[in-house]
Amino acid sequence: MNLSLLVLLPLLTAIALVCCKGLKQVRLVSFIGAGIQLLLAFFLLLVYWQERATGNNTAMLFQTDYTWYASFNIHYHIGVDGIALAMILLTAIVVLAGVLVSWHTDTMSKEFFFLLIFLSAGAYGFFISLDLFMLFFFLELAVIPKFLLIAIWGSGKKEYSAMKLALMLMAGSSLVFTGLVGLYFNTVTTGAGHSFDLLQISQMKIPLQAQLLFFPFVFVGFGIFAALFPFHTWVPDGHSSAPTAASMFLAGISMKLGGYGCLRVATFLMPDAAHAYAPIIILLATIAIIYGAFATMMQKDLKYINAYSSVSHCGFVLLGIGMLTKTSIAGAVMQMVSHGLMTALFFAAIGMLYDRTHTRMLDKLGGLLKIMPFISTVFVLAGLCSLGLPGLSGFVAEMTVFMGSWQNPSAWYRLATILACASIVVTAVYILRAVGQTVMGPVMDSHYNNLSDAKWNEKLAAVLLLIGIVAIGVAPFWLNKLVTPGAEIIIQHVSTAVTIK
Amino acid sequence: MNQFFLLARQELALTLIIFILLFIKLGTKEWSNSALLNLVNGLLLVNVASGFFFEEEGILFNEMFHTGKLIVVEKNILNLGTLIISLQAYDWLKQHRHVVEFYVLLLSTLLGMFFMISAGNLLMFYLGLELASIPLATIANFDLEKRRSSEAAMKFIISSAFSSGLLLFGISMVYGTAGTLVFSELPQYLVGTPLQLFALVLLIAGFAFKISVVPFHLWTADVYEGSPVTVSAYLSVISKGAAVFVFVSVLYSILKPLAQAWYNIVFLLSVLTMFTGNLFALRQTNFKRLLAFSSIAQAGFILVGISGSSQAGMASVVYFVLVYVFSNLGAFGVVSLVSALTGKENTEDYKGFYKTNPFLAWVMAVSLFSLAGIPPAAGFFGKFFLLIAGAGKGNYVLIVIAALNMIISLYYYLKIVKIMFVDRNEQDPIAKLPVHIYPRLALLVCMAGIIVLGLVSRVYEYIYSISTGF
């Protein structure tokens, strides 16, 4: 299958959107585009399984490789493995759900859907890239649409948040850029040139000195995207000011770009340095998990609650990567998928509540279960997934991370694992408090009684995300089977690198 | 003789246009402004097209004048930029009383730049430079009734005379120590004596004035602000581009023996220029001043590429100037339209610009993204290649500093985007502007350039293949 379709289709959709007139046409085109994209993603999954079933064990499938800039040895090189495929599925689901929840965006609707679809093209491109230049290209592609989405359609102190997000993400990509250039000049190809190719670089032995120098650049750079403590400060402001679909995209996909980059670029290409810096990564991840959880306790705004809890949950991703065991890395990827779905669902539910009640403050909400049973149920389910209820995806992912982390025999690492586990208690406190306050108890405001429940588009969006969450929660093995080979390759790479040294 | 017509054909074409215009002025027939502008733009279009044939290499007049494939490309870039500027100036010039004079002076400076680029002798280079500077000062004064415009012209002529003085002083010392002014003979006599190093500093200072590199940038913002927008655009793109082309070829060929010395200078200047340009741009409220400081900062990035001292260094610099022509003219084009039709030049005036002029707002936004180096705009590729070229020498400190500056610059570019797209202006928004076909065409060319130049690798690879190594 030609993977370029994954980027081309959103771009074509975006171009088609430019020619549309009126909200109805625009949202229909976006819906069809995102829908076909989802089907395409599932088709990709199908052919991927078929290919694997025939015994094709190459690390990356469906590769295409063209020379782009010959003098710099930059290639248009794409391919997917299980990890990338999981991310692509996640993106397709979240984008379609995002289009559905934005069904009634009537101010500048054409621009809104254009930017949303354009943003998704960046994410797809990022996940299929096997060339570091391309990867960086797609990473930066997404910065401006995010800025515009928040600054134009956002709420609250949207201009401040949009600028903060854009500048911090730009800082992240600047760090990544420096790291990639440094990495590039330490590669040696047969033609005495340098290489940006991910697979080629992974076969090379990058000098330890260079790895130690450039690993922090790449890891922290991607870490800013993934809310690495102390660079997480854009997350709460950005997420809470963004319009619903943009919040879903930001928390559901954009933060995963960071996690994926930390894994695929930093850890995979600089394994020695990954070992050397593992204690620091784990320390920061543990702080993020605990700090995020406690910071959430203090929040009164539903969006802030979810944003801070995202910091905590993305800490698990970084913890899994830092632990460097096969299970922990598989767990990190599963946590990315699970958190992406869960947080998108959470934001979608919050958006639906906000559209009706016009408030997100905990103390102004209450008793909504009687008035809007569907939205409230979705809200409760998202919360339960967040606190790790068995049967939903959060439990599976976090459990895998903990199991993998425990496999790392170092006593300090186990302490970090225990602390991270303990944070779940805090999570339970704030989630149950938020959920209880919002949907249970007396109706806080009498005019809430006249509000309506979810419409078909909102129901469809929620169901789509819920199917993903339950599918992972009830039958985790398919996702596990999908991502484990990829994780295995990375971990083999890391362990051979260390034994050679 | 045949060779003369072939090799110097771009210069001859320009001279021909200048003479045609002069005869029109001298003739008895009164031409209307719009007819004149149609004619001039047509001639300029032919002029651009003429550059794409017979890319011969050769030497004329005892090595005074030389040309090659890269030089032809550089002249084509300048020709194209001039055409775009001329198209964008339509609304301003249509009401002006001295259209012919404007074009005669403008094209004379372009001719000077061509001789400067093609020079094979320091004296010839100096002649070209003077021809490129003095008429520019007069057209900086072309808003005849505005005092600021005269002030700008005065500032420009004084600072450019000063820089010419420095340059001439440096050239005289080079002649004193080397005994020749011919480019091909100079390198063997440049051995790095203290006097030659002093001459090097003077030469670089002379160039730094033209490219507006810190600390020689002080004239830039005032002159850009006072001059007509068209002239500011010309100064920031064409004049600067030409100086950059000569600077990089002089550094890479003649001054190659002093590479260690100029590398340190260029490194220092690039850091200073990037920081100063970007930090000063943060607080500007006049659009032209903002673009002036942004163009200073861009010069700093160009210096990063130059410091790479490699084939990639030269190619990336030429490519970046090409990209910069499209990106900066996209932004200047919109400013020039708004300024000509409404007289508004402050960033605050652009509040709610998207509501009334969506096309122009998008053009401006895309141009600014390209200047900021955001993909998929060509500016991303331009900056990326400059920085890779710069990193080729292993100087990662410079790359970190440049990356830091990209963050700073993003702030003020995004601020403009925010003003145009987000802010509302109920009192006095810029009304829907009637965009004439010429400026519209020019802006579309800029957009096409910004989108195509990066994604299609052909252009860069071609420039790379004809660039000389170090």
Q: Which of A9-13, A387-391, B343-347 has the highest mean pLDDT?
A: A9-13
Mutate to test the interface with B, among A21, A69, A138, A167 (most CBs of B within 10 A): A69
Dist. CA B408–CA A482, nearest whole Å: 41
Show the domain range for B92.
2-466
Task: Identify the band that residue B352 occupies on the pLDDT scale cut at 50, 70 and 90.
Answer: confident
Once rounded to an integer, what is the mean pLDDT over residues B354-383? 91
Partnered with residue B65 across adjacent β-strands are: B60, B119
Tell me the average pLDDT of chain A: 88
The minimal CB distance from A178 to the residues B312, B399, B457 is found for B399
Mutate to test the interface with B, among A21, A68, A72 (most CBs of B within 10 A): A72
Once rounded to an integer, what is the mean pLDDT over residues B264-271? 92
B312/A72 Cβ within 8 A:
yes
- Name the strand (E) or helix (H) holding A63: strand A61-69
Q: In chain B, how many domains are there?
A: 1
Distance from CA of B37 to the nearest CA of A (A): 34
The minimal CB distance from B404 to the residues A166, A174, A185 is found for A174
A177/B374 Cβ within 8 A:
no
B461/A72 Cβ within 8 A:
no
B394/A71 Cβ within 8 A:
no
What is the complex's ipTM, to 2 decimals? 0.91
Q: Least CA distance to A181: which residue of chain B?
A: B388
Q: pLDDT tens digit string along A113-147?
A: 999 999 999 999 999 999 999 999 999 988 889 99
Show the domain range for A477.
4-500
A170/B406 Cβ within 8 A:
yes
Q: pLDDT tens digit string along B7-41?
A: 788 888 899 999 999 998 888 888 888 888 888 88
Question: Which range, of A480-489, B200-209, B372-381, averages the lowest pLDDT?
Answer: A480-489
A162/B400 Cβ within 8 A:
no
In this prediction, residue A476 carries a pLDDT of 86
Q: Reply yes or no on whether the pLDDT at A155 is more than 90.
A: no
Tell how strand B65-67 and strand B58-60 pair up: antiparallel
B457/A69 Cβ within 8 A:
yes
Distance from CA of A468 to the nearest CA of B (A): 32
User: What SS3 class is residue A49?
Assistant: helix
Dist. CA A227–CA A233, nearest whole Å: 8
B312/A171 Cβ within 8 A:
no
Once rounded to an integer, what is the mean pLDDT over residues A26-33? 90
Task: Identify the band that residue B300 occupies on the pLDDT scale cut at 50, 70 and 90.
Answer: very high
Mutate to test the interface with A, among B418, B424, B453 (most CBs of A within 10 A): B418
Tokens at residue B450, please?
A: 């910004």
A72/B406 Cβ within 8 A:
no
Tokens at residue B65, please?
A: 């004048």
Residues of A with CB under 8 A from a CB of B: 68-72, 74, 133, 137-138, 140-141, 143-144, 147-148, 151-152, 159, 162-163, 166-167, 170-171, 174-175, 177-178, 181-182, 184-185
Once rounded to an integer, what is the mean pLDDT over residues B404-433? 87
Once rounded to an integer, what is the mean pLDDT over residues A298-314? 89
A182/B391 Cβ within 8 A:
yes
Q: pLDDT tens digit string along B53-87?
A: 777 777 888 888 888 888 889 999 999 999 999 99
Task: Kindly state the percentage of chain B with pLDDT values over 70.
Answer: 100
In this prediction, residue A498 carries a pLDDT of 66
Q: pLDDT tens digit string along A387-396?
A: 888 888 888 8
Tell me the average pLDDT of chain B: 89
Q: Which residues of A touch B457 (CB under 8 A)?
A: 68-70, 74
Distance from CA of A71 to the nearest CA of B (A): 7
Q: Which residues of A touch B394 (CB under 8 A)?
A: 185
In this prediction, residue B78 carries a pLDDT of 93
Q: Reply yes or no on whether the pLDDT at B113 is more than 90.
A: yes
Task: Identify the band that residue A193 occupies on the pLDDT scale cut at 50, 70 and 90.
Answer: confident
Q: Reply yes or no on whether the pLDDT at A501 is more than 60.
A: no
Once rounded to an integer, what is the mean pLDDT over residues A291-315? 89
Q: Least CA distance to B467: which residue of chain A?
A: A71
In this prediction, residue B27 carries a pLDDT of 83
Distance from CA of B436 to the nearest CA of A (A): 23
Q: Which residues of A touch B410 (CB under 8 A)?
A: 166-167, 170
In this prediction, residue B183 carries a pLDDT of 86
Q: Least CA distance to A71: which residue of chain B?
A: B461
Asked if the bond preceding B215 is cis, omega within 30° of 0, the reply is: yes
Task: Kindly state the percentage of chain A with pLDDT values over 70.
Answer: 98
Once rounded to an integer, what is the mean pLDDT over residues A148-163? 89
Distances (CA, A) of A44 to A4, A86, A465, A488, B222: 12, 11, 19, 21, 59
Dist. CA B238–CA B78, nearest whole Å: 6
First to last CA, chain B: 33
Residues of B with CB under 8 A from a CB of A: 312, 315, 369, 374-376, 380, 384-385, 387-388, 391-392, 394, 396, 399-400, 403-404, 406-407, 410-411, 414-415, 417-418, 421-422, 457, 460-461, 464
Q: Least CA distance to A159: which residue of chain B?
A: B418
Task: Identify the band that residue B379 occupies on the pLDDT scale cut at 50, 70 and 90.
Answer: very high
Question: Among candidates B307, B363, B137, B345, which has minimal Cα distance to B239?
Answer: B137
Q: Reply yes or no on whether the pLDDT at B307 is more than 70.
A: yes
In this prediction, residue B112 carries a pLDDT of 93
Task: Identify the band that residue A260 occupies on the pLDDT scale cut at 50, 70 and 90.
Answer: very high
Q: Which residues of A touch B364 (CB under 8 A)?
A: none
Q: Reply yes or no on whether the pLDDT at A500 is more than 60.
A: no
In this prediction, residue B345 carries a pLDDT of 86
Task: Identify the band that residue A204 occupies on the pLDDT scale cut at 50, 70 and 90.
Answer: confident
Go through A140-168 and write b for each residue having 16 or more CB atoms within 10 A of its CB, e for each that does not: bbbbbbbbbbbbbbbeeebbebbbbbbbb
First to last CA, chain A: 39
Spatial neighbors of B62 by CB under 8 A, at least 6 apart, are: none
Go through A338-357 and write b for each residue having 16 or more CB atoms within 10 A of its CB, e for each that does not: bbbbbbbbbbbbbbbbbebb
Q: Which residues of A touch B404 (CB under 8 A)?
A: 174
Dist. CA B38–CA A262, nearest whole Å: 57
- The pTM for the full model equals 0.93
The minimal CB distance from B464 to the residues A71, A144, A181 is found for A71
Q: pLDDT tens digit string along B199-214?
A: 999 999 989 988 989 8
Size of interface A-B (CB pairs under 8 A): 78
